[in-house]
Amino acid sequence: MTIDRMKSNSTYSNKISSDYIKKNIPTVLIHLFIWLALFSLPLLFRPHAVPEPHTGSLPLHIPFPIWMNDIFMVIAFYTNLLILMPRFFNVKKWGYYLFFTCIFLAGSFFIHSITVEVDHFFGQNMMREMGNMPKPPKGFEFRQFSFIYMFAMVWALSIAYFLYVKLQESVQHADKVYATALQSELSFLKAQVNPHFLFNTLNNIYMLTLKKSDDASLAVMKLSNLMRRITNDTGVDYVPFEEEESFIRDYIELQELRLTDKTHIRYEIEGDYNMLMIAPRILIPFIDNAFKYGVSNRYESEIKIRFEFIEKNMFFTIQNAIHPNGGESLESSGVGLENAKRRLNLLYQDKYILKITKTLEIYNVLLKIELS
Better-predicted residue by pLDDT, 242 or 5 = 242
E strands, the chain, where?
239-240, 263-270, 277-278, 301-310, 313-321, 352-358, 362-370
Q: Which of 99-103, 132-136, 319-323 has the lowest mean pLDDT?
A: 132-136
Arithmetic mean of pLDDT, 285-306: 88
The per-residue pLDDT for 179 is 66
The per-residue pLDDT for 10 is 52
Q: Between 140-210 and 284-293, two packed helices, what is the crossing angle to 10 degrees? A: 30
The per-residue pLDDT for 148 is 73
The per-residue pLDDT for 21 is 53
Report pLDDT digits (tens) over 132-182. Answer: 544 544 444 545 566 677 788 888 888 988 898 888 888 887 777 666 666
Q: Are 287 and 252 in contact (CB under 8 A)?
A: yes
**Beta carbons within 8 Å of 199's beta carbon, 6+ residues apart:** none
The per-residue pLDDT for 296 is 83
Q: Are 301 and 256 in contact (CB under 8 A)?
A: no
The per-residue pLDDT for 309 is 97
Q: Between 94-130 and 140-210, two packed helices, what is the crossing angle to 10 degrees? A: 140
DSSP character for 147? Answer: H
Does 318 have pLDDT greater than 90? yes
Q: What is the Cα Rg of the chain in Å? A: 38
Does 60 have pLDDT greater than 90? no
Q: Which of 16-20, 64-68, 145-149 has the lowest mean pLDDT?
A: 16-20
The per-residue pLDDT for 43 is 57
The per-residue pLDDT for 125 is 47
Using CA atoms, how far apart are residues 75 and 240, in angstroms rounded to an integer?
Answer: 57
Arithmetic mean of pLDDT, 73-92: 86
The per-residue pLDDT for 330 is 44
Does 252 have pLDDT greater than 60? yes
The per-residue pLDDT for 131 is 46
**Beta carbons within 8 Å of 86's beta carbon, 6+ residues apart:** 162
Other C-beta atoms lying within 10 Å of the C-beta of residue 141: 10
- Between the alpha carbon of residue 185 and those of residues 133, 181, 190, 192, 277, the distances in Å are 83, 6, 8, 10, 20
Question: Edge-to-edge strand order for the sheet containing 362-370?
Answer: 263-270, 301-310, 313-321, 362-370, 352-358
Better-predicted residue by pLDDT, 117 or 232 = 232
Other C-beta atoms lying within 10 Å of the C-beta of residue 135: 10
* Average pLDDT across the chain, whole number: 75
DSSP structure string for 222-258: HHHHHHHHHHHTTT-S-EEHHHHHHHHHHHHHHHHTT
Which range has the top average pLDDT, 62-66, 139-143, 232-236, 268-272?
268-272
Does 119 have pLDDT greater than 60? no
pLDDT tier for residue 128 given thresholds of 50, 70 and 90 = very low
Q: What are the phi and psi torsion angles at 233 (to 5°)?
A: -100, 15
Arithmetic mean of pLDDT, 281-304: 87
Angle made by CA atoms 241, 238, 225, in degrees to the nearest 5: 65
The per-residue pLDDT for 6 is 44
Does 319 have pLDDT greater than 80? yes
Report pLDDT digits (tens) over 27-40. Answer: 777 777 767 766 66
Using CA atoms, how far apart are residues 3 and 11, in angstroms rounded to an integer?
Answer: 12
Does 19 have pLDDT greater than 60? no
Q: Percentage of residues in the chain with pLDDT exceeding 70? A: 65
